């Protein structure tokens, strides 16, 4: 089974390149299942119900979120529906939505978990202990377990990857918007990468216009971080080849494509 995981979609440029690339890959049969992080899909901040539907129609099977989950309030009731969009599992238990989802496909049962880090981030429940709790339900989760760890620090992501190595199919990082080159199959068989990178405008600072971000660094004054508008976009992610009988990853390959606006 070929699984594509795509990093944070930033604004309309990210949505366009995602739709252009992933719809074609699915039509050609190059990928069977697609997970995408959609936390920056709505103008860089959060996601709305129509944008969830747009990304699902473009080929996403499951959407994960992160620290921008609550930026667009309209998404809150949507998170409690049957829609395959999940927020970090280690948010407080009273928060709307679910932290993982199990889907029964033709040849396999797949669980996708969203989890958020705590280093240089807000104080959430422990991602390590939350993963332990989720993995206790192993019989309900199926063979293939995919984990999006949305975190700032590579140390925390590598540590979580090592902690659940052999217990899940794959762990990939999101949130930094910069793809790392450390993809590997860990010693106990879990596929791992510290960050997928982002999907959006290339000539930018992490998908945002350069000037407002620079201005904040130079002056300390607040400014609105608008999504960059330029004609070149990038799509970043990984392609996993997974044995659906054992749930083990056979390979992990980085994907990074740059193109003019489709």
What is the spatial distance between Cα 183 and Cα 180, in angstroms, rounded to a whole number?
8
Total residues at interface with Fe ion (CB under 5 A): 5
Q: How many angstroms from the chain centroid is the CA of residue 100? A: 13
Strands (DSSP E) found in the chain: 2-6, 33-37, 62-64, 85-86, 100-104, 109-116, 144-150, 170-174, 184-185, 191-193, 200-201, 232-242, 249-260
Q: How far is the CB of 175 from Fe ion (least distance, A)?
A: 4
Q: By CB under 5 A, is residue 66 in contact with Fe ion? A: yes
38 binds Fe ion per the rule CB under 5 A: no
Of residues 157-186, those binding Fe ion (CB under 5 A): 175
Binding mask 3-32 for Fe ion (x = CB under 5 A): -----x------------------------
Pairwise CA distance, residues 169 & 166, whole Å:
7
**Which region, judged by CB under 5 A, interacts with Fe ion, from 63-71, 163-171, 182-190, 218-226?**
63-71
Nearer to Fe ion by Cβ, of 116 and 131: the residue is 116
Q: Give min distance, CB of 256 to Fe ion, in A.
A: 17
- The residues that bridge with 199 in the sheet, in sequence order, are 9
Q: How far is the CB of 81 from Fe ion (least distance, A)?
A: 23
Q: Is 67 in the site for Fe ion (CB under 5 A)?
A: yes
Residue nearest to Fe ion (CB): 8
> How far does the chain reach from its first CA to its final CA, in angstroms?
28
Kindly state the smallest distance separating residue 191's Cβ from Fe ion, in Å: 21
Upper half-sphere CA count for residue 212 (Cβ side, 13 Å)? 12
68: annotated active-site residue:
yes
Complex with Fe ion: residue 108 or 113, whichever CB lies closer: 113
Q: Would strands 232-242 and 2-6 be described as parallel, antiparallel, or unpaired?
A: antiparallel
Q: Contact positions toward Fe ion, by CB under 5 A?
A: 8, 40, 66-67, 175
Q: Which residues are catalytic?
A: 68
């Amino acid at each position: 089974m070929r699984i594509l995981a795509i990093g944070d979609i930033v604004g309309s440029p990210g949505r366009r390149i995602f739709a252009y690339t992933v719809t074609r890959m699915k039509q050609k049969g190059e990928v069977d299942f697609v997970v995408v992080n959609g936390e920056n899909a709505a103008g860089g901040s959060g996601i709305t119900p129509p944008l969830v539907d747009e990304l699902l129609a473009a080929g996403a099977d499951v959407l994960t979120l992160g620290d921008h989950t609550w930026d667009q309030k309209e998404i809150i009731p949507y998170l409690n529906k049957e829609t395959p969009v999940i927020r970090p599992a280690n948010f407080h238990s009273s928060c709307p939505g679910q932290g993982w989802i199990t889907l029964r496909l033709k040849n396999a049962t797949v669980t996708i978990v969203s989890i958020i880090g705590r280093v240089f981030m807000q104080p959430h429940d422990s991602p390590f202990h939350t993963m332990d709790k989720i993995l206790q339900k192993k019989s309900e989760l199926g063979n293939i377990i995919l984990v999006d760890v949305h975190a700032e620090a590579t140390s925390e992501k590598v540590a979580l990857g090592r902690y659940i190595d052999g217990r899940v199919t794959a762990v990939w990082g999101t949130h930094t918007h910069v793809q790392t080159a450390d993809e590997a199959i860990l010693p106990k068989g879990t596929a791992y990468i510290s960050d997928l990178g982002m999907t959006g405008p290339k000539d930018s600072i992490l998908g945002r216009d350069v000037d407002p971000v620079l201005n904040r660094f130079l002056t300390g004054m607040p400014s609105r971080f608008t999504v960059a508008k330029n004609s070149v976009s990038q799509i970043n992610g990984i392609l996993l080849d997974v044995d659906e009988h054992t749930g083990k990853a056979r390979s992990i390959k980085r994907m990074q494509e740059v193109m003019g606006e489709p």
